[in-house]
Amino acid sequence: MEAKNERYIQLAIEAIQEVFEKEYFGLLALPLPEITFLTPEEESYITGEYYISIGNNWQIHLNFGALPSTYLEFQEEVKVLTRHEIEHYQSCPFDLITHFRMLKVIMDANKSSKYSLEEFSFRQLVPGIANQISDIIIDTKNFYKYPSETLNSRPLTSHVFQ
């Protein structure tokens, strides 16, 4: 299993470098994504976990679960996921100020609605709602640039249709 993971890590690095260099022309101030593999016992094994953490820099995390059946499919998935996470950095929310503004607008919309939810319970939903809004913006932007790759993305379709 270790040799298989090493091969997938190498393929992921090649795909990531292609996206960074050919599509973003090396202009990103981002480190290369951290790559790990989930085990079948983990909750997100079917879809994987893909996100950005913010510390001294934005760090993309690509935690792969169930892998596509071919190396080519895997590399295409890596490209789609890398583009998606880069666009969180470049487009939406772009920075923490924009992220906090999104959270505030969502909270204000709930408060002003005649169907508003209790603030305490709604507050727990707000980050997820903000991320879904960002994902729609990002995936729409990526769809216009890479329509077939974006539509054929396994993590996107498996997440949406579960």
Domain ranges of the chain: 2-155
Instruction: Look at residue 155 in the predicted model and tell me its pLDDT.
Output: 58
Cα distance between residue 106 and residue 119, in whole Å = 11
Q: What is the pLDDT of residue 160?
A: 40
The predicted pLDDT at position 157 comes to 44
Which pLDDT does position 65 carry in this prediction? 93
Mean local confidence (pLDDT), 45-56:
89
Q: Please check the confidence at residue 67 and state whether its pLDDT lies above 80.
A: yes
